[in-house]
Structures are given as structure tokens and as C-alpha cells.
Chains A and B, each alone.
Chain A
Amino acid sequence: MKYKQMFRVALLASALLGASLSAYAEDNKPIKVGFMLPATGTYTALGNAIENGFKLYVSEQGGKLGGRTIEYVKVDDESDPAKATDNINKLIKSDKVDVVVGTVHSGVAAAMAKVAKETKTLLFVPNAGAQAITGPMCAPNIFRSSFSNWQPGYAMGEVMAKKGIKKAVTITWKYAAGDESIKGFKDSFTKNGGEVIKDLNLPFPNVEFQALLTEIAALKPDAVYTFFAGGGAVKFVKDYKAAGLMDKIPLYGAGFLTDGTLEAQGGDAEGLQTALHYADKLDNPKDKAFRSAYETAYKDMVPDVYAVQGYDAAQMLGIGLAATNGDVSKQAELAAAIEKAEIDSPRGKFTISKAHNPVQDIYLREAKGKENVVVEVASKALADPATGCPLK
């Protein structure tokens, strides 16, 4: 009896194995795009927006890029770097995708970049701002359609110095994205005569800010620069306002402080100035068209910076594929076309550096109601230094 059961168990196991691993041998007519984005956890909404943006552009082109139909495969990256290598390997080796698009979390993207580099798979990073991806890890087949953490920080440093702010305090979570943003801020702020009197930070993703707000009140700087995102950004702004600091010590930040969070911040963010590569009321035709198309395609969803990044990742892929007539294997030609192109993005036109990070205008925006309305261009055609990238 026992052996029979063993046999049954073994059958069941192999059926499961087969179901999950079956590698389809296809003639590869359509191009397979693998989304590796968060579908669970804190970043879920961002992942959805990126996917929507990407698909919007592709469907605007009739479902084809470079003359070939686009087909999608998905894997939930769970924002867990420990699973990242396996997840991207699944896309590349099992689903046999031609292009990988992902992701939000920097640590996950770092692992993805390594696999993409080794397997020479085309990778488009639609959010994660880790400088390493277009720095030491840069490669001819890796592109970013978003930003580097350094860029908004650098732009904001210039703006604040110009406003005559002399003494600033920075506050962020103790993790790579925060550190890089603060580094960008300091680079330009100190170059223009400002002084950072203290760097405050707290462990990620701790959101108990009260102790540090008291510290800020005691230090009495001219202004505060901050990098927070998502739920932490909502709480930080509300706490900052409730502590009565908003009117006395102006708060500035990287744009994620008020992006996708204004509704939740419920008016407490009113008037906050932040820097980012996208804003509301940009008033260019491309942005208007994008927004109305997005709102038609995805009911109840507001187009945001993440959707733009997904949209532009698709645009960049489209430009590359157009140049190679849909041949993904001609990576050198594909990269050359993208590097040469001027991408007509809803955020305004931008180009791609040799290290494959956007060279783009960073806007100064001001929160008004539920929008981050553009004030001015804070930094024109700003490029990431791409330290450590041999391609530049």
C-alpha cells in the first residue's frame, strides 16, 4: 500500500513541478515583456501604475513595437531582494522573455541588474533610483526610464541655496535611497554656500518621527530637506504640520514626499515645495494627451509619475525596436538608437545618458489641493554623475 501512495505523491509532485516549470518552446514571433513588479506589500499601487503606463503606450501603438506584437508575463517581486535573483531568472530562463521591466525597490533592482548584465537581457528600470544601476553596474543592455536618487536632491539643493537658505537639516530613513538623495542635496547646497548643520535619520521603515521633530525644533535651522515616500511620507508631513513646524521652518523634499500621497495627507501638505522630474499642470501637449488617455483606459486611476515612468520605459523600448526592426538581439544598435533619441515624454522631452539614465529637467513643484503644480524648472537637463560607470 505504502509504495502505491508514494507513487501517487510522486505523481502529484511531478505534475506540480511540470505545471510550474514547463518551458514553452515557441517560435518567438511576439516579443515577450516580463514585468517584475510588486503585486503585494507596500509598493503594490506603484507597481500597478507602472504596468498600466507601459501597457498604455503599447496599446497606443496598436499593441506592437518595432513591428512585433508585445506579449506580457508577470512575476510578483514582493519587494524582497532575497527572492529577486530567482524571480528574474524565472522570467529569463523559464518564461524566456526578451525584455524585463522592473522594479520599484532598489535592492531588488540591484539584484536584477546583475542578472541582466550577466545574461545580457534587456532591462528597463521604471522606478528604482539606486545610483549603482547606472553607475558601477551600468551596462549596454540596462536602461532606466525614471531618475537617480541623486537628481531631485541635487536640484532641490540649488533651489534652496538660491532662496537664501543658509543652515539646513536633513532627515531621512537610514537606507541607500535616502542616503543618495541627501548626498545629491548636499552636493549642490554646500557648493552654493549653504551649510548642513545636522543629518537626522531613523531606521527604515520606522515612522515614529516625534523625537526627531523635537530635535529639529531645538536646532532651529532655516529649512529642512527630506526624503520619504509612501506611508512614511504621509505620516511625516502630517506630524511635521501637527508639531507646528510647517510655518516656522520650511520643509522641502524630493518629490515622493507629496506624490500619490496628497489625498492621504489631507491638506497638511498644502504649499509644500518638492523637486521631481514630473509635475501636474505641465501644460505640454504630450502630457495632456497622456493624461486623458490614461484616465480613459484605467477608470478611477489618476495618472502619476510612476505611470509616466512605465509609459516612457515602453517608449524607450519602442525607439530601440524601431531601429532594429523588432530584433531584440541587436543590442548595440538598439542602445545606440535610444542614446541618440529625444524622448517625447509627458514629463517633457529628455535624453538618455551614456550610462542610460535620463538627462532631464527637474521641476520645482508646489502642492495645491490634490496636485503638485509646477512652479519652475529647478534644474535644466540634469544628468546623474554616473560615478563608476565605464560606459560614460
Chain B
Amino acid sequence: MNRYFGNRLAVFVFAFPALLLFTAFVIYPLFPEMMISLQNHDGFKSEGFVGLANYMDVLNSQTFWQANKNTLLVVALSIFVGLPISLMLALLMDAQTPSIRRFFKAAAVFPAVLSVTVVAQMWIAFYEPTWGLFNEILRTVGLGHLAKQWLTDKDTALISVAVALFWQYIGLNALLFYTGIKSIPKTYYEAALIDGAGYVKASIKITIPLLQDVVKYVLIISTLGSMALYAHVRIMTMGGPGDASRTIVYQMYYTAFERSEFGKGTATAMLFIIECLIISFLINRFVAREKIEI
């Protein structure tokens, strides 16, 4: 049996293909990225090393900080608004009759399997100023003065895009929470009922603490998802008006592929990696009771 599981050649055959691809396309690119970020590079050829000048340029540019502010705002909204709503939806689902629950479960994942192009296009139609759904509703209920150019107003552009993103994934997150709730043993609730706790109290005292693992998981995927917000912005607003809805990843794409400043683009990417690591660390440190297996 030892010869069987300890077969050196077999280990190589089984592990090599995956490790080769993973190393070549996931880990290795970080090194050229680091190298390019130290050069003046236009995507075709390098104009020589410039040290940390790209980083200085990026850190001194107002656009970068605006993009950062925008991204962090979306992340904060997803943590403090999006997640509580999904959790509430999951609790609501749990309390409803099976038929409504079945309908909601079936519908909830649908936006997440749709292409981002379709979802973004639908929200463009919702936000359209002259015939879009939102302004139409506002006019119908007599609040016409609140009608806006949602996607081209600098105060609402970013929020409008974020709403589209949240809508797409909120049902999925609710479903993840719901599965977590289902895995909590019924006896806990029976005990609480005997002690005279109501549904709301039982939710706060039993469900939410026991959901920690799922909360952690949803928190990580939705935080990293909001950090990397790009496609919705690209399709709905192109980062505009001005820099109002520019995100870090959008700024990275824009610098590299539209302005051909690959040096600055990769410098932005490196700074973005650092931010992602810091945020993952913070979540691990303050949210998870035990360390997340990364």
C-alpha cells in the first residue's frame, strides 16, 4: 500500500499539469507586473527603468484617490447595507410558507446567472432620464421634481451603479444565508421557545451568532467582488461623469489599455493587490473567530 500511495512518478503525473498552469498564469504574472510597474512601458516596449516614479505619479494623482474613495464607498455599502439586507431576506424566507419560499429561492439566483451585459443594460433602461422606469414612477406619484439623470449626475452615478451590482447578487447572498440558517439544529429554537423567546429574539440570540461561518464567507466574496467592480461601471457609466463613478480596477484598465501607460497601470494594480490583502487581513482579524483557511 505504501508503494501505491507513495509512488513518486504518480505524484508527479497527478500534480504537475495543474501546478504548471496555476504557476504560469496565476502566480508568475505577479513578477512581470512588479517589473513593469518600475518601468516606463507602453505595452510594446520599455523606455527603461524609472524606479518608483510610476508609484509616485499614481499616488499623487487625484483620480487615483477619487477611484479609491469610490471603490471603498461601494465596499462599505455592500458590507453595511447589502449584507444586512440579504441576511434579513434570509430570515424572512425562513419564516414564510413553503410555497413563497420556493418561489423566492428559484427567483433569487436568476440575476446572478444572467450576463452582466444584460443586467447593466436593464438598469440603463431603468435609469434613463426621459422614459426610464424610475423617473416615470416618480412622475406618476407626483414627485416629478425628484426625477434625475441618474447615471450622468455626479451625485448619483456611483450609487446607481452600486445598486445594480447589489441587486444582481443580493438574492444569491440571501440564499447562502438561508442555507446556513437551515443547518442550525431545530432543538436550539425549541429550547428558546420554552424559555419564552419570540422569533425576533431567537434570531438575534441564536441564528446570527451561529451563522458566523457563512457571514464570513459571504462577507469575503462580496467585499472582494465590490473591490473589483469593473464591468458594471464600464457598461453603465464609463467611470463618468468626470471621475464620479471611477473604480480602482476601472482606473487600472483605463490607464493601461486606453492610455497605453502600462507602467502606471501595473503600479495601480500593485497598489490594488496591497489593498485587497489589507482588507482580507482586516476581515480575518476582526470578523472571523478562527482564522480563515486561505
Q: Do A and B bind each other?
A: no
Interface residue ranges, A against B (CB under 8 Å):
none
